[in-house]
Each structure stands twice: as C-alpha cells, then as structure tokens.
Amino acid sequence: QVQLVESGGDLVQPGGSLRLSCAASGSIFTIYAMGWYRQAPGKQRELVAVIETGGSTNYADSVKGRFTIASDNAKNTVYLQMNSLKPEDTAVYFCNVDVQITSRARFITWGQGTQVTVSS
C-alpha cells in the first residue's frame, strides 16, 4: 500500500500563511494526481486543490488567488501554499493521491489529516 505523510498544519492568525506538504511512499508505479481536501466541523469534506502529474490544476472557488498547489514529482510530494488565511479556512486538511501501484492496480488513498486553525 501507499502511505502519505502530511505536515504543516498549525494555528495561525487571519492574514497569515502556512505551507502544507504531503509525501507519498510505498509501492508506487505511477501517480496520476495529488491534492488536498478539507473538512470543517459539521460540514462535508470538500476539494481544495488538485494537481495532475502533467501540471494542470483545479481549485475551489473559495481559495482561488490565495492558495497555490505544487508538486515535486521526483519526490512524490505535493505542497499547498496558503496565503491570506481566513477563519473560514479552519478545517482538517487531508492529502489525497491517485496512484497506480502495479501495472494493473490503481487506487485513491488518503492521509490522516492535519489541523489548520485560523483565529485571532
């Protein structure tokens, strides 16, 4: 199986910045996409940003212009640079990877989540 190691979650004041990182390891044949989702208390998990190996990206409307997703394909790592953070960004952020582990097996796997709290 593939393991995801996340880091970067923290408590930050409104207007501040954080950078999340997620490194994938294990039996990896090909990674098609990596991304970030988040879940706030009482809400459904939602897409924040996704980047495909070819470089194309998708963002939630609520984070466009503030967050940037990037990847280091050689290290199987994805980053989320979060600027101009707002209290409504407070959530548990989950790393996600679309990974092929053999020539015939492809899975979606999730990290354990990292807490981001934006508060004065």
Q: What is the pLDDT of residues 19-76, one digit of tens each?
A: 999 999 998 999 999 999 999 999 999 999 999 988 999 999 999 999 999 999 899 9
Using CA atoms, how far residue 93 sits from 28, 30, 47, 54, 74, in Å, is 23, 24, 10, 23, 23
> Looking at the predicted structure, is the pLDDT value of residue 1 above 90?
no
Find tokens 């979650």 and name the residue. Answer: 9
What confidence category does residue 97 fall into, taking pLDDT thresholds of 50, 70 and 90?
very high
pLDDT value for 45: 97
Using CA atoms, how far residue 115 sits from 54, 70, 98, 112, in Å, is 29, 20, 22, 10
